[in-house]
Structure 1
Amino acid sequence: MNAHLEQLSPQPLWRHFRTLCNTPRPSGHEAALVARLEAWADEQGLAHDRDAAGNLRIRKPASKGHEAAPGVVLQGHLDMVAQANADHPHDFARDPIETYLEDGWLHARHTTLGADNGLGVAAALAVLEDDTLTHGPLEALFTLEEESSMGGALNLAEDWLDGRILLNLDSEDRGQVYIGCAGGADVVVDAQLPTSDLEEDEALVRLALTGLTGGHSGIDIHKGRGNANRLLVRVLRALEAFDARLVDYRGGTLRNALPREAFATLALPADEVEGARERLLALELELRDELAGADDHLALALETVEARAAEALTRDASRLLIAALHAAPCGVERMSVDVPGVVETSNNLGVVTLEGGRFHLCALVRSLRDSATADIADRFRALFELIGARTRVENGYPGWTPDPDSSLLARFRALHRARLGVDPEVKVIHAGLECGILGAKYPEMAMISFGPLIRGAHSPDERVEVASVEEFWGLLRALIEDLARPSS
């Protein structure tokens, strides 16, 4: 599948990306890809090893005469976000990604593409097999479970890597170089809430909120797009006027993707169903008006459910849960004063479920300040303790502190200017690159992050501009060769 990728330039990079598209690799299911890359390294005569966490390293000795050059680590993550349109059945653990070209962009059919971070991984592999390249000692570091937990980087072995320079290949903007990023943590809330039998006069209805754009919960969170969990909870709040109570709820699939859809089953008096339906029509117009220009395709639907559920949340439990979700932090909390135009702190209500009275929430807090991450996590704890829920913080990772005076950055800027005629934009990103974690484990290592132009990451709208991949490839090769020479 995806043979057309090998017709693109640079051919070695796209050939490796084809392998990645054809090898299922959602977070937690990278083993088959690791085995394939190890077999490839053996064919190339390249040394490889894994640390205790399963992260893969492939090494290539320096070009003759450049053994004394500083070692360079090419770093990317093997996993991809698994998101598909609701009407498209796709098993990310078994099915390959089907790609197509349109107007100079590469897309996937109804799923995420995996350009994040498959193109970075493919570029590192292409560098390793390029025998025309002059380079110092090279290591390619491929981490696991970045999209789900940063688990690979968090558990990376210390004193394992030899290189002194790290090139993170997980950025998504042409003409930009990143020197800092936000840290973050998952906030997980669980509760067993009281339920009661359905009453004789209660009917069941299925409520759906669909049509949102979604996107990356770091890169896109400031763009005014709708969060399906936030919006459906707002609708549920309004429907409490019709004496509705929650039976079940399902919204979002990943804590680091803006939820595009959410669904709930409600029990309400049968004679209130038509009134609720009319209120829903008004709410749909209201929400569409608020989101106009940022998210234009929101849709609300209400259907009667024939099957009878055994029970729903009690009225008090339903009202308390909806109130807590309505009050929970969501979206941009604060913009940075130190780095104008960059989000300092945000929270994404990523995954919310309710079934049989069992409530679960997973939110992702991001911040340039670790203290702000801790504060929002504590606010969740304080809020949800009021309804008897348990809150815990998991998978915390530090931010990456910018170093605008780094010699690595200066060399990249000069190279970018010489090749493309313009200076790159030097940026700090609100997304959670692995550099902060890696820098904490290897504090003497200089780092930058750059990549091709990717849009719609973490959603089925993900796409990459093909021309930007060739530009990225040229910059990467030139930088590696530049770093093999003594600095002036």
Structure 2
Amino acid sequence: MNSEIRNLEPKIVWNHFADLNAVPRPSKKEERVIQFMVDFGKKLNLDTTVDSVGNVIIRKPATQGMENRKTVVLQSHLDMVHQKNADTVFDFDTEGIKMFVDGDWVKAKGTTLGADNGLGVASIMAVLSSTDIAHPAIEALFTIDEETGMTGAMGLKGGVLEGEILLNLDTEEDDEIGMGCAGGVDITATRNYQEESTPENTIAYEISVTGLNGGHSGMDIHKGLGNANKIMNRLLFDGFTNFGLRVAEINGGSLRNAIPRESFATVVIDQISKEPFLFELNELINNIKAEFKSLEPNLSIELKETTTPENVMDLGVQEGLIKTIYAALNGVYRMSPDIEGLVETSNNIARIIVKEGAIKIGCLTRSSSETNKWDLANSLRSAFELAGFDVEFSGAYPGWLPNINSEILNLVTNLYEELHNSKPHVAACHAGLECGILGQNYPTMDMVSFGPNIRGAHSPDERAQITSTQKYWNFLLEILKNIPSKN
């Protein structure tokens, strides 16, 4: 399958992408892809270093006639989000991504594609390996762990880079030029509970919520897509309130930056309530499907009888859990008052695990406003603490404040108009780009972000558009040719 990818244009980009996707590169397990990049740089006889946290930096001198131009930092992240369909057999730790062409799109077989941010990485590799691309001096910065904490960007020390301009190749709309992004904070709520013996004369069910689109918990949060954890909680709330449903286990969602696509719960009810329980829950299921019929046509909610578990949750803790999840905000909290259509602040209830006496809930709160980020975080903290949870904030990172007077932003915007006879969409995005963090140690660096069309990032539906990648690549080459001279 990957052989057809290598014949796509621009071949130099798609071939590097295929090479990269053969290397397992989950977040926080980037040892193999770090070594892959080091070997790549050294094979080209380029200055290649790895910093103290694992970021790879490869330097390439300017091509002839471009020596007086400003040095450019080309930046993308090495790690990728690992998601797969429930029926897909795949080991992200050992296997390379299996890609195929579907019309104008490159997709993966039942898994995330890794175009986020693999196409950015492949583009930089293409510039580094080229012999006929005009460019100024290049500092290629390949960061690690962008998807689960941005620890690579956070760990990059000041003074390592000399570039005056940074091109971040990590957006997902080819007519968009990024000039700002949201910051974020991870919220983790935990508590223990006493398990109780399952009451007698009960019947057990496994409830499954599957088939949702999922997607990026920042870029897609405004679309109203289904969150499997919230949908599951509606079912549990109804069953508990009306039929005394008891919870044995819950396993919902996965990564904080992915809208939950699936949730599974094992529950019990009194046998005497079986028929009315099934009738009412099926009514609720039909109502939920009707609510989401245009957005989530593949939503599946099923009940299946299963072996009765030995234990269930303590009743009081269960009630607190279900009501807290109902109360906790998921989705958009506030739209930007300054930039039309931009989500300012949001939350994703990403992960819920209930098993063997322990509860763990993971959220990711995002905002381009630091004050509103903490306002929403404290709102969620309050909801969880009222139900007896311990709450931890971690992994906080700042947003990237727009600079409307940016020289590179003006250059890139004008070049886009000249190339396409139309204006690009210049905007901040509701995602955690690394520019805000990098700007802390490099406050004078002039930055923009752009990339090809990528759809369904952070989900097994992720796909990259072939014609858009050609457009983006030509745009990048034009930018490199027009980098301004040194002051």
Q: What residue number does 1:371 align with?
A: 371
* 1:293-344 deviation line (CA, Å, top 9, x unaligned): 21222221111112x4221112211111101111111111111111110111
Partner letter of residue 59 of structure 1?
R
Task: Determine the C-alpha separation between the residues in 2 that align with 1:11 and 1:300.
Answer: 43
Q: What residue number does 1:313 align with?
A: 313
Task: Determine the C-alpha separation between the residues in 1 that align with 2:68 and 2:421.
Answer: 31
Paired residues of 2:70 and 2:485 also in contact (CA < 8 A):
no
Q: Residue 234 of structure 1 aligns to a residue in which SS?
A: helix
Unpaired stretches in structure 1, ≥5 consecutive residues: none
Task: Determine the C-alpha separation between the residues in 1 that align with 2:6 and 2:293.
Answer: 40
Paired residues of 2:5 and 2:101 also in contact (CA < 8 A):
no
Please tell me whether residue 259 in structure 1 is matched to residue 260 in structure 2: yes
> RMSD in angstroms over aligned alpha carbons?
1.3
Report how far residue 34 of structure 1 moved.
1.3
Task: Determine the C-alpha separation between the residues in 2 that align with 1:430 and 1:337.
Answer: 14
Partner letter of residue 400 of structure 1?
W
* 1:114-151 deviation line (CA, Å, top 9, x unaligned): 00000000000101112222222101101111111111
Task: Out of 404-413 and 252-261, give the one that drifted further.
Answer: 404-413
Q: Residue 317 of structure 2 aligns to a residue in which SS?
A: helix
Q: What residue number does 1:83 align with?
A: 83
Q: What residue number does 2:446 align with?
A: 446
Paired residues of 1:312 and 1:357 also in contact (CA < 8 A):
no
Number of corresponding residues: 486
Q: Residue 287 of structure 1 aligns to a residue in which SS?
A: helix
Task: Determine the C-alpha separation between the residues in 1 that align with 2:170 and 2:185.
Answer: 19
Partner letter of residue 260 of structure 1?
R
Paired residues of 2:333 and 2:376 also in contact (CA < 8 A):
no
Paired residues of 2:369 and 2:399 also in contact (CA < 8 A):
yes
Q: What residue number does 1:272 align with?
A: 273
Task: Determine the C-alpha separation between the residues in 2 that align with 1:447 and 1:273.
Answer: 60
Task: Determine the C-alpha separation between the residues in 1 that align with 2:289 and 2:300.
Answer: 8
Paired residues of 1:52 and 1:157 also in contact (CA < 8 A):
no
Q: Residue 428 of structure 2 aligns to a residue in which SS?
A: strand
Report how far residue 275 of structure 1 moved.
2.2
TM-score, length-scaled by structure 1: 0.97
Task: Determine the C-alpha separation between the residues in 2 that align with 1:94 and 1:273.
Answer: 45
Task: Determine the C-alpha separation between the residues in 2 that align with 1:15 and 1:464.
Answer: 14
* 1:376-395 deviation line (CA, Å, top 9, x unaligned): 22122222222221101111
Paired residues of 1:257 and 1:350 also in contact (CA < 8 A):
yes
Report how far residue 484 of structure 1 moved.
5.4
Paired residues of 1:97 and 1:108 also in contact (CA < 8 A):
yes
Paired residues of 1:215 and 1:458 also in contact (CA < 8 A):
yes
Partner letter of residue 252 of structure 1?
G
Please tell me whether residue 433 in structure 1 is matched to residue 409 in structure 2: no
Task: Determine the C-alpha separation between the residues in 1 that align with 2:165 and 2:379.
Answer: 39
Where do 1:5-84 residues align within 5 Å? 5-84=5-84
Identity %: 40
Partner letter of residue 46 of structure 1?
L
Q: What residue number does 2:227 align with?
A: 227
Q: Residue 23 of structure 1 aligns to a residue in which SS?
A: coil
Paired residues of 2:332 and 2:343 also in contact (CA < 8 A):
yes
Q: What residue number does 2:412 align with?
A: 412
Please tell me whether residue 131 in structure 1 is matched to residue 154 in structure 2: no
Q: What residue number does 2:344 align with?
A: 344
Report how far residue 486 of structure 1 moved.
6.5
* 1:228-261 deviation line (CA, Å, top 9, x unaligned): 0011101110001111111110110111111011
Task: Determine the C-alpha separation between the residues in 2 that align with 1:264 and 1:271.
Answer: 21
* 1:172-207 deviation line (CA, Å, top 9, x unaligned): 001110101111111011110222111112222111
Q: 1:83 to 1:351 in 2, by over 3 A?
A: same
Partner letter of residue 302 of structure 1?
L
Paired residues of 1:120 and 1:170 also in contact (CA < 8 A):
yes
Q: Residue 215 of structure 1 aligns to a residue in which SS?
A: coil
Partner letter of residue 270 of structure 1?
Q
Q: What residue number does 1:400 align with?
A: 400
Report how far residue 267 of structure 1 moved.
2.1
Paired residues of 1:188 and 1:360 also in contact (CA < 8 A):
yes
Task: Determine the C-alpha separation between the residues in 1 that align with 2:478 and 2:130.
Answer: 13
Task: Out of 317-326 and 412-421, give the one that drifted further.
Answer: 412-421
Please tell me whether residue 249 in structure 1 is matched to residue 226 in structure 2: no
Paired residues of 2:68 and 2:486 also in contact (CA < 8 A):
no
Task: Determine the C-alpha separation between the residues in 2 that align with 1:438 and 1:477.
Answer: 24
Task: Determine the C-alpha separation between the residues in 2 that align with 1:263 and 1:409.
Answer: 46
Task: Out of 199-208 and 255-264, give the one that drifted further.
Answer: 199-208
Report how far residue 66 of structure 1 moved.
3.1
Paired residues of 1:61 and 1:136 also in contact (CA < 8 A):
yes
Task: Determine the C-alpha separation between the residues in 2 that align with 1:439 and 1:168.
Answer: 12
* 1:51-70 deviation line (CA, Å, top 9, x unaligned): 11111101111223433321
Unpaired stretches in structure 2, ≥5 consecutive residues: none
